Homo-oligomer: A and B are copies of this chain.
Amino acid sequence: MTLESQRSSDAPGWVARVRLPEPSLQDNTADVDRLGDALKKEFGLATLEVDLSLGRRLPALLRENHFALRCLVCGDRHRGVLIHAGPDHTRTILAGLAVDLGTTRVVMRLVDLDRCNVLAETAFDNPQLAIGPDVLARIHYTDQPGGLEELNRLIIDGVNRHLQRLCETCGLDTDHVHLISVAGNTAMSHLFAGLPARWIIREPYIPAANRFNLIPAGQLGLSVGPLAQVMIFPNIGSYFGGDLIAGILYSGMHTGSRTAILVDVGTNAEVVLGNKEWLMACAGAAGPALEGGMSRIGTAAAPGVIDRVRIDPRDGEFHLHTIDDRPPVGICGSGVIDLAAQLFLSGMIDIRGRFQPARCGYRLQKRDGLASLTLVPGNQSGSGRDLCISQVDLDSLVRSKAAMYTILETITGTMGMALGDLEIFYVAGTFGSLIDPRSAITIGMIPDLPLDRFQSLGNSSLGGATLALTRRSLPEEAERLRESITYLELNVNQDFMNRFSAAKFIPHTDASRFPSVKTGSL
């Protein structure tokens, strides 16, 4: 697999081949300086740092290879670091590791830095889950003696362990991994670097660092090449992390002339609006209902999880699709959105999201005093239990979708735009890539735009981390981006609440905003 070409394009990477003029009495520049000058020119660097161990080997290396070398450099225009120098013609792979450092899940991609292709990929649960399920719990844990070190050790060991396996699958020695890029939220980035995180969650919410220098991988305890360096994506603040910066870079919205919106839906909805001229970001609680967090049966995408729902408009029959076609065990976020849209279109719920007993028929029952709709009876489910959703689940979903819509309305409104002005609508995140935009429009979670304006980015944070390994301009793009984003503090004032109340209908109080949603077609 070659990396998506429209994104990494032909932008130069971190590997360069240099053929130096051989020294003479007329040109007796020193060896390290000779290579350094060439690389500074090639990479546009003010300084190039050559580790002593490399400098000591360089005179022989240059002469053995007739002054032609393949070099791996990283850094920015102020300071470059030479990570590797070796023979020009060789099959030795110079590998890099892109890490999407999620609070729950970590995804890693091994990349050939020279050919710019993917070697292998893996994903694993963040080992810090053993300490606490979320950012808050883990940061509180760092207040215990040794807590920070333990959390740091867990993630570093996890990365080492899975990198080892990843390398084995492609017959690569971990010593050949020279560059690591890490995109995570502010807290995860701190715990990865072993930086104190306690002030992130305490007023006035101060991270230890928003910008990270290149860090020698050895200092972090990573088992990779001896001179390997680690790039951690910068944060904007406690509330806006490097994972989002990576996502924006991956989308390319910061370089486009068309105004785009990028939505990363999770427990928080993180939203970025703009184009190459300006960027505005905000974040707000969109509620757990949007990330498979529905009580009892909500779950993250996994085999047997319902991810697609259709209700036959003629007979009201439920057609459920599960991941890997396994017997159903739960429902994930995209399934819930599909379900709500289909229930609405079939008239089984009304515009307030209330079950309509006449339409629901035998599926609707009282359980624990709550109206509850059975999706899958126990004898057909993978778990042996009935899979149901209750009125409470639905209410929660409606609040979440209303929050999302209100956030989108607020941020575009702040820029004096209407939602219809959005030229590209990027949906980021694994969850985002599964959502059917028609369903999300039907329930009024996202605006009623032509479907061709929606683009799913997949794991944009991993995509951005991969770009950092293959595009040498990325650190500066990230820093410029960081500095150019205006952060919009969402004030939950009367205006916001009015919008939110109006959005708590399906699709909206003002149905004219959703002309494509035709109701009651059953």
Contacts and interface: CB of A to CB of B under 8 A. Distances in A.
Interface of A: 23-25, 28-33, 36, 46-47, 49-53, 55-56, 58-60, 76, 78-79, 193-196, 198-199, 203-211, 213, 215, 219-220, 235, 237-238
B23 A209 contact: no
How many copies of the chain does the oligomer comprise?
A: 2
Contact of A28 (B33, B58, B59, B204): B204
A47 B208 contact: no
A30 B206 contact: yes
B213 A50 contact: yes
A33 B213 contact: no
Nearest to A24: B204
B219 A52 contact: yes
16 contacts: A25-B205, A30-B209, A33-B209, A36-B211, A46-B78, A46-B79, A47-B78, A47-B79, A49-B79, A49-B213, A55-B193, A55-B208, A56-B193, A56-B208, A59-B196, A59-B199
Nearest to A32: B209
Contacts of A50: 213
Dominant secondary structure at the A interface: loop
A23 to B, nearest CB: 5
Nearest to A57: B196
User: Which 7 A-B pairs give the minimum distances between C-beta atoms?
Assistant: A32-B209, A30-B210, A30-B207, A46-B78, A25-B204, A47-B78, A59-B196
B58 A204 contact: no
A209 B60 CA distance: 13
Contact of A208 (B30, B195, B215): B30
A187 to B, nearest CB: 13
Contacts of A51: 219
